Amino acid sequence: MTAASLTIDAFGIRVPVGTWAIDPMHSSIRFSVRHLMGKVRGTFEEFTGHVTIAEEPARCSATATIFMNSVNTATRMRDDDLRSANFFDVGRHPEMTFEGTGLAVHDGSLELPGKLTIRGITRDVALEVEFLGLDETGLQGEQRIGISATTTIRRSDYDVGARAGEGQKIVVGDKISIQLDIQAMLETSP
């Protein structure tokens, strides 16, 4: 008997159905934002999550919890400011969460719509998703999938950081680019 799988022929995708646990050791969550005349790039070092692959794309889903205290831009003073009430307010809002459901094809790309919550504020976002492949015999004999996803959000939608008033210098841009590179291991299958 053949195991059930998600198949999207237009993209050459065939992935076994099941719940896949994100492997944080082989995954990354990165962001970039304009800062003065350049860009600042950073990562979140601690996160957990699952990807659920179903036979029907509309029933696929993903969840993730990102621990805001783990922000890392390679500058301690800036990271401390990001953790403060000025930006993420990790004392009151220690986690950012994403819950997405319903993988869909839009304009020749795969998209996972979902809800992103930062500082207790939830907004709709869509992740543009690319499947990077399936390894049926990982380093320990486990099945692994690779997924890349991107999106752009506005920090003002989540009340993150001060807003520049008219005539004030823009120190930190409003638009945040987010890139996820995920490896996940098959945890349960039907």
Task: Render each residue's pLDDT in the chain as its tens digit; 190 residues.
Answer: 456 777 766 567 788 899 999 999 999 999 999 877 789 999 999 999 999 999 889 999 999 999 999 999 999 999 999 999 989 999 999 999 999 999 998 777 899 999 999 999 999 999 999 999 888 877 778 899 999 999 999 999 999 986 544 444 557 888 999 999 999 999 987 7
Task: Give residue limits of the domains in the chain.
Answer: 5-188
Instruction: Give all strands (DSSP E) within the chain, no chain letters.
Output: 5-8, 13-16, 18-22, 28-35, 38-44, 47-53, 61-67, 71-72, 95-101, 104-106, 109-118, 121-135, 144-154, 172-188
Q: Which fold has domain 5-188?
A: Lipocalin (2.40.128)
pTM as predicted: 0.89
